[in-house]
Structure 1
Amino acid sequence: MGRTFLAWLIALLAISTPAFAQPDAGWWNKDWPYRRMVTVDTSPTGGNLSGAIGRTVLLVRLHDGNFTFGDALENGADLRVVDSDGKTPLPFHIERYDAANSIATLWVSVPGLNGGERRQLWLYFGNKNAPAGSDIARTYDPDTIAAWHFSETGGKPAADLTANGNNAQNAVPAIDENGVIARAARFQGQGELVIPATPSLAMPAGAPLTLTAWVRADQLAGEQALFARGPLVVGLANGAPFALVGTQRIQAGAALKAGEWAHLGFVADGQNVRLYVNGVEAGAAPGALPALDGPIALGGAAGRPFVGELDEVRLAKTARPAAMLLASAQAEGPNNKLVAVAGTAERQSAGGGTFVYVLGKVEMIDAFIIGLCMVILVLAVAVIVTKVAYINRAVRANRVFLKRFRALHEHLVSMKHVEGVGPRELDMIGQAPLGRLYETGIEELEIRRETRGRRPLSGESVEAMRAAVDAVVVEENQKLDRWLVLLTIAISGGPFIGLLGTVLGVMNTFAGVALAGDVNVNAIAPGIAAALMATIAGLACAIPSLFGYNYLNSRISALSDEMRVFVDRLITRLAEMQTEGSPAPAAALQAAE
């Protein structure tokens, strides 16, 4: 069942329910026909962050569950990200865009992010004539002095994405095509990356510094360096993250798990140094950094070889707040609770209300269930309308017939032989259930007169006439009851069919969440809301059918009662007519002699 068909069938609900409307930021540029909402949720229902976070680079993951790659350019050049005001484009760049496999990763610079809020961004796409919108250098703020994605191929040196150009002088030993984000650098105990010293990397004594990186240790034994520059070493000691500042050492209390990705952070603010694991502080010590100079080594150092993988290494010449490190860990990790992309696209001038959004999330099985309920509803409404029209015609025709019937008094004859009854009135009487009963009774009486003359009817004859008229009553009741079974099916079956669709939809939603590993309310709520559409469809099918059935049943019962009373009245009068029209007993005896 097509979603357009469903939208037309249920459109009245969307129009009549103001609660379905949601705030619309306005369309940024009419050259872009599609957009999707990107929600950054730092409230307790999402990332549960607090305090001011500031300008933050957040990862947005696209896949076939939240993005239609066929509506965008093959290289993603038409992508644009607009702030919640609907007017301000945000700097971003694409690390990976694979339309063939329906997967993409974008880095978006989000200004003024705060804890405890739900920030709505807009991802625009679909402009086939758009130039490339990525702006790598502007994605990072001026305090970011180096950032490495390790997305290079063909043995090229690892490139710094900031405007500082702090590129490595060599390539990574090996590449993992499917790191925690996209490509990752793989180290095998030798061949660390060397970043030459540059003016932008100069760090005087006491200067603030923030280092963040994703790490996956394939081997936990021994001491391994992830970052080394002069007296500063950040690494793993038997799997436990540590930072060595000159002779001062801070170390996390728990080791990382081999083969699992973890987000590490090191922050020096001039007074204290802190170590973070997955955005949570794991160790701290007072003191400031000494002057750092000379080249930087990533993925190992002399006497501290590293066996594992690194991804998304960044350096900043400022002390980043703890909330920013937690935001990065949540947005970039496999268990993303911070950033969610709407599962359906909004078309320009298509509205974008909550109802349309939920309808767009309906899965195929739920769409089939909703479509089935709507088909049953259409059939039920057709039965109700048809039956109401039939009963109204029967009631009007009965009135016309009864007027003529009362005028005949005791001299009952077929309506065809009544003076003054024209063809139009005769046709109306033919549509009256009472008229058909009457004509059947008259025909039965005529048959007996042809065979027995004017003699009074025996009890058996009267019962035979009654049986013939009762047979017509049964036929009339069957006409009145015909197709009402569709209403009972809609009343009793509609809610159960809708409930089945809801259960299947919820099951598919939780299964998809389990497969994607994206456990957050933004991933679960749209699927459950869409699954509940099946229950709504079932109730929408049953409720009108219930009202219609009760209304029809009351009117059909009234017609049936009227027919039963009329049969008794008709048979009695016909028997009286036959008795009054027979010869007297003495005259009959003389005639017999």
Structure 2
Amino acid sequence: MTNPISRSPARRLQRGLALALAAGTLALSPAAHAWWNADWSQRTRVTLDTTDKGQAIGEAVSQVPLAIRLHSGNFDFLAGKDDGSDLRVLAADDKTVLPHRLERFDATNELAVLWVQVPSVAPGSDKNVVYVYTGNAKAPAATPAAASGGDAALKFAVHFDDQAAPGIDAVGQLRPVGALTPEPAGLLGAGARLAGTPLVWPVADGIKVAPNGAATLSLWARADGQAQGQLLALGPLSLALADGKVVARVGTVALTGGGVTPGSWLHVALVLEGSQARLHVNGAEVAKAAVATPEVAGEMRVGEGFTGAVDEINLAGTARSGAWLAVQAGSQGPAGLLVKSAKEASGEGEAGGGHGYFKVLFDNLTTDAWVVILILAAMFVVAAAVMVTKLRYILRADNDNRRFLGRFRDAGADLLKLDAGATHPNSSLYRLYLAGQRELVKRGVGAAEGRAAQGLSGASLDAVKASVDADLVRESHKLNAQMVWLTIAISGGPFLGLLGTVVGVMITFAAIAAAGDVNVNAIAPGIAAALLATVAGLSVAIPSLFGYNYLASRIKNISADMQIFVDEFITRVAEEFGSR
């Protein structure tokens, strides 16, 4: 949930509320994993899942460049420095500090990309972990890793992240000939925009490949419209798109395979092993051919006749394995099951479930969701207060009504003297009786001999009944007072919750689009947090619905008792004091 105002004091207050609300859950968490350094208060756990649930690989690989995308769903930007200089990357042992390179760090929009060389990745394991620590305002700036990432096998690497010299080769410092058009929405940060005119890097000894030698040539590309044109050419080697397929050439030998989807990022790699060549698309081997590696030298030409964007162009002087390329493509690409990440706070448990689920939800709530939930919380408090108050009122009224009705029905000549020693102040029937008694006293009923000198006429009886009926209406209003708050909670709660969820989902997808990270671990926290607003709405509406129905039925019974009592009272008065 990327949000331009996410670093406001309100957001900090929300985070404090979230931690407070999650405290009960966290208190039950199991023992925490050893924390590297107590001076860093937050960390992000990044896992490369090579099991069948993630992206399976057949062998162990080492020294794989990992691009870590950070966003509000997996990283606490509020805890660290605004420039990311307090970031530290730790290996799986949570002891070894790994050099890293920041390609992007936007604290305002809560988006960052950093690169780290993973020492080793084991197959069939979900324990391939690195930790990204933050939250130490006093930490000195970390020494950045070399632009090449420390990979000794690299002969040529262009990341397109150097704003001062875009397109510069991080290994041999080769600069492209002519102007380069940046592509802001690159694979990770910035990329290069191509419109048919190639980018050219000059001839250099550093990018030569000896005959029968080993090499790996790779890049990321995103085609616009028709997937046609040459992606890369270096001497006798080329990578191109044609008829919706990837075509690699080693001299006169062509390797074809893999599907191309316009508008989607595609990882293409050509591996030369001395006597054979392999073509890999999105980490999967799609073609192989027996061909000797020719002498490779000349200009590096990228994008001739191609319209779209490119990023991360690499030439390594070694034959990368299929597993290595699968991990590279799976970890750098915009989608996949390989990389899973989650933020953790100091003291959180890891074993048996990791961080508290409720803390994840609260940490990923957007500002609008917090507003909705706070409104719903206020509605719940009001609805609960109404239900408790009305229930106490109804129970007392019902109890006193029964006691007074017994006295009324047992009364004889003292019918108009039931107010003496009355012990039922909460009885609505008693208040109706007092209204009738008041009207009768006005008309001289209840004088010395217990009745008026002349009996009540029909008009007088009607007047008494009208007065008592008026008080009955007022009593009904008292009984139904504030019930409207329950109807508002019942009908408005779910709609408010749905509003919070919809807006939260919109913000989540907007943030994911901006970050370029669409795997389930990037989406799930935001979606789950957004759904919390709907849960809050239902949590308000459901108790209110049950309470309203129960109270309404009790109010209906009391209202019926009052109507019956009025009829009984007027009938008794007519019998006792009516004209003969």
Query: Does TM, normalized by the shorter one, top 0.5?
Result: yes
2:248 match: 242
Distance of aligned partners of 1:34 and 1:92 in 2 relative to their CA distance in 1, 3 Å threshold: same
C-alpha deviations, 1:43-96, integer Å up to 9, x for none? 6776x4442352322112345776565543243221123456766655433234
Percent identity between matched residues is 39
Return closer, same or farther for 1:460/1:118 CA change in 2, 3 Å cut-off. farther
1:263 offset after TM fit, Å?
A: 3.2
User: Which deviations, in whole Å up to 9, do the C-alpha atoms of 1:368-397 show, x marking residues without a partner?
Assistant: 443443333222112101112222333454
Give the 3-state SS of the residue equivalent to 1:52 in structure 2: coil
Alignment equivalent of 2:277, drawn from 273, 276, 286: 273
The answer on 1:79 being equivalent to 2:87 is yes
> Which residue pairs with 1:566 in the alignment?
565
Distance 2:259 2:218 in 1: 18
- Matches of 2:136 and 2:53, distance apart in 1: 34
SS of the residue 1:283 aligns to: strand
User: Which residue does the alignment assign to 2:392?
Assistant: 389
- Asked if structure 2 preserves the Cα contact closer than 8 Å seen for 1:91 and 1:139, the reply is no
- Equivalent residues of 2:167, 2:180 under 8 A apart: no
More helix by share: 1
Larger radius of gyration: 1
Match of 1:112 among 103, 106, 121: 121
SS in 1 for 2:540: helix
SS at match of 1:532: helix
Distance 1:490 1:336, change over 3 A: same
Corresponding position of 2:521:
522
The letter of the residue matching 1:72 is G
What's 2:456 paired with?
A: 457
CA distance in 2, matches of 1:557, 1:103: 58
SS, match of residue 107 in structure 1: strand
Q: Does 1:94 align with 2:102?
A: yes
Whole-angstrom distance in 2 between the partners of 1:65 and 1:518:
11
Distance change in 2, residues 1:570/1:523 (3 Å): same
Contact kept? 2:176, 2:199, Cα under 8 Å: no
Is it true that 1:468 corresponds to 2:467 in the alignment? yes
- Of 56, 66, 72 in structure 2, the residue corresponding to residue 58 of structure 1 is 66
**Could you give the per-residue CA deviations for residues 189-237 of structure 1, whole angstroms, max 9, x where no partner exists?**
755152449xxx997x766543434468999999896445xxxx43247
Question: Which residue number in structure 1 is paired with residue 3 of structure 2?
Answer: none
Q: Which shows bigger deviation, 207-216 or 104-113?
A: 207-216
Q: Cα distance, 1:429 vs. partner?
A: 3.8
Q: In 1, distance between residues paired with 2:263 and 2:475? A: 79
- Name the counterpart of 2:476: 477
Change (3 A) 1:182 1:578: closer
Q: Note if contact 1:107-1:139 (Cα within 8 Å) is conserved in structure 2.
A: no
State how far apart, in whole Å, the 2-side matches of 1:21 and 1:410 are: 74
Residue 321 of structure 1 deviates from its aligned partner by 2.4
C-alpha separation between the residues in 2 aligned to 1:2 and 1:157?
A: 38
Aligned positions of 1:431-450 closer than 5 A: 431-449=426-444
Alignment check: 8 A CA contact 1:189 1:307 kept: no
Residue 591 (structure 1) aligns with: none
Q: Is 1:136 aligned to residue 145 of structure 2?
A: yes
Q: Distance in 2 between matches of 1:558 and 1:261?
A: 68
Q: Is the 8 Å Cα contact of residues 184 and 311 (structure 1) preserved in structure 2?
A: yes
Distance 1:545 1:101 in 2: 39
TM-score by length of 1: 0.73
Q: Are the structure 2 counterparts of residues 334 and 415 from structure 1 closer, same or farther at C-alpha, using a change threshold of 3 Å?
A: same
Contact 1:143–1:318 at 8 Å: present in 2 too? no
Q: Match for residue 377 of structure 1?
A: 380
Query: Relative contact order: is structure 1 or structure 2 higher (C-alpha 8 Å, sep ≥ 6)?
Result: 2
- Unaligned segments of structure 1, at least 5 residues: 161-165, 586-593
1:190–1:305 CA contact under 8 A, matched in 2: no
The aligned counterpart of 1:324 is 324
Question: How far, CA to CA, are the matches of 1:59 and 1:192 in structure 2?
Answer: 28
User: Post-superposition shift, 1:479?
Assistant: 0.3
Instruction: Return closer, same or farther for 1:366/1:253 CA change in 2, 3 Å cut-off.
Output: same
1:299 corresponds to: 300
Give the C-alpha shift of residue 476 in structure 1. 1.1
Q: Which runs of 5+ in 2 are unaligned?
A: 1-9, 350-354
Deviation, structure 1 residue 32? 1.5
Give the match's secondary structure for 1:131: coil
Moved more, 94-103 or 436-445: 94-103
* Secondary structure of the structure 1 residue equivalent to 2:117: strand
* Deviation (angstroms), 1:491: 2.3
Query: Pick from 166, 172, 190: which aligns with 1:167?
Result: 172
- Structure 2 distance, partners of 1:61, 1:338, is 13
Distance 1:222 1:214 in 2: 14
**Residues 473 and 192 of structure 1, relative CA distance in 2, 3 Å threshold:** same
Question: Deviation at 1:482?
Answer: 1.0
Query: Which of 133, 141, 148 in structure 2 is aligned with 1:124?
Result: 133
Q: 148-157 or 329-338: which moved more?
A: 148-157
Query: Secondary structure of 1:449's partner?
Result: coil
Q: Structure 1 residues 258, 562: closer, same or farther in 2, change over 3 A?
A: closer
The verdict on how the C-alpha distance between 1:541 and 1:453 changes in structure 2, with shifts beyond 3 A counting, is same
Q: How large is the Cα RMSD of the aligned pairs?
A: 5.0
Q: What is the letter of the counterpart of residue 114 of structure 1?
A: P
Query: Matched residues in 2 for 1:537 and 1:257: separation?
Result: 41
Change in 2 beyond 3 A, CA 1:367/1:120: farther
1:24 to partner: Cα distance? 6.5
What's the counterpart of residue 491 of structure 2? 492
Contact 1:299 1:305 in 2 (8 A): no
Aligned match of 1:252 in 228, 253, 256?
A: 256
